[in-house]
Structure 1
Amino acid sequence: PHGLYKQLVTIRATTTTIEILNDNRERVALHQRRYTGSRYVTNLGHMPPHHRHQHNANRFDGTKYRLWAGSIGEQTYAAIDHLLSSQIVEEQAYRSCMGILQCSKKYGNERLEAACAKAITMKSCTYSTITTILKNGQDKVFSFKADKPTPLHENLRGSEAYV
């Protein structure tokens, strides 16, 4: 709980519960211990008022970010989904998701979609990568792909030349 910030507390952990005691040995929190899924438990009553206000004001969760990203395009959805899934606590990715999705207002959906596609190929679906791609116009640069195979030439040798 936020009221115990910077105070010494005692934590008792059993196989099924986590208990927090204040300096008078009074129980101030009791949580079920989790071994699977999201192992973090957030109790809104333990948050300071300004955090609670922000949490209530946003009302955004992973589902809403994914829906918003899906309305922009497949690549944006994939990048946001990867970003949300890569965090131990999904909430830690919310600001990055909001920043990435807000880029659609400045750069447009098509450019954001292209930037997310490039970030996915780079295996770096982060806010800084995607915004850098957009700022530098790298979403507009297409990788060179040879349409035709290299023609046979007398100076080209096969693998048998290296035996």
Structure 2
Amino acid sequence: MDVKITGDRLSIMRDREVIATHTVAGRKHVFVTDPDHVPAHHQQSSDLWSRAYFLRQVHKIGPATVAVITSVLDARPIEAQGYRTCQNILALAKGDNKPLLESVCRQLVDTDTPRAVSYTAVKQRLAAVRAQAHARPTTTDSPPLSGRPVDLAPASRDTRGAHLAGPESFSLDALLGRGSNKREGQA
């Protein structure tokens, strides 16, 4: 077999006769696959991974994760090219991370600007949510990411030990300790 690239065309030749041609991608790391050239054994859905397999798995997580996996599979010209991405996204749900993954997928699906959903996008959003959860104090004694969805509302801040007082407590006299004598004299 010989391979010849001319411009944006890749020609595959056997005994100097062209047996197949493909378009060469203009960017690095981009698949350009002609569905007619996919071997028959890859077109069958009887393999371990298939659209049905991934949809069965993500239905256990939630509807937003189903939408993300569907988006990944639909974005590829050949569905099998998205299987590794789907497997990596599913791996993020291991342990008690299913509710957190569903929350992250909902954020990605609900955005106003449509964009391609990828494993990297899901992983980065998941890391951002975890970092945000670890940065805020909680009202519970348990670690902030124990597998349960994290409530990031301002009401969840730990205010134990906080001293609340009115504005008069922060005047210069009150801070220097002269505020109590002034009040006693007024009484």
**TM-score interval, normalised by the smaller of the two chains:** 0.5 to 0.7
Matched, 1:87 2:76: yes
2:93 match: 104
Matched, 1:74 2:66: no
TM-score computed with the length of structure 2 as normaliser = 0.48
Q: Give deviations 1:86-108, integer Å, cap 9, x for gaps.
A: 11111121111111111001561
TM-score computed with the length of structure 1 as normaliser = 0.54
Letter in 2 for 1:43: P
Shift in CA distance, 143/62, structure 1 to aligned 2, threshold 3 Å:
farther
Q: SS where residue 129 of structure 2 aligns?
A: coil
Match of 1:40 among 32, 35, 43: 35
Could you tell me which runs of 5 or more consecutive residues in structure 2 were left unpaired when the two chains were aligned.
Answer: 5-11, 21-32, 131-148, 155-187
Shift in CA distance, 92/117, structure 1 to aligned 2, threshold 3 Å:
same
**Same amino acid, percent of matched pairs:** 20
Letter in 2 for 1:100: I
RMSD, matched Cα = 3.6
Q: How many residues align?
A: 112
Match of 2:48 among 50, 59, 64: 59
Is the CA contact (8 Å cut-off) linking 2:3 and 2:13 kept in structure 1?
no
Aligned-partner Cα distance in 2 for 1:129–1:141: 22
1:120 match: 109
Is the CA contact (8 Å cut-off) linking 2:61 and 2:98 kept in structure 1?
yes
Q: SS where residue 57 of structure 2 aligns?
A: helix
1:154 match: none
Shift of 1:143: 9.1
Q: Give deviations 1:36-63, integer Å, cap 9, x for gaps.
A: xx96032167x9xxxxxxxxxx720122
Matched, 1:132 2:132: no
Shift in CA distance, 141/93, structure 1 to aligned 2, threshold 3 Å:
farther
Shift in CA distance, 140/121, structure 1 to aligned 2, threshold 3 Å:
farther
Is the CA contact (8 Å cut-off) linking 1:61 and 1:94 kept in structure 2?
yes
Shift of 1:114: 0.4
Shift in CA distance, 89/141, structure 1 to aligned 2, threshold 3 Å:
farther
Q: Which structure: larger Rg?
A: 2
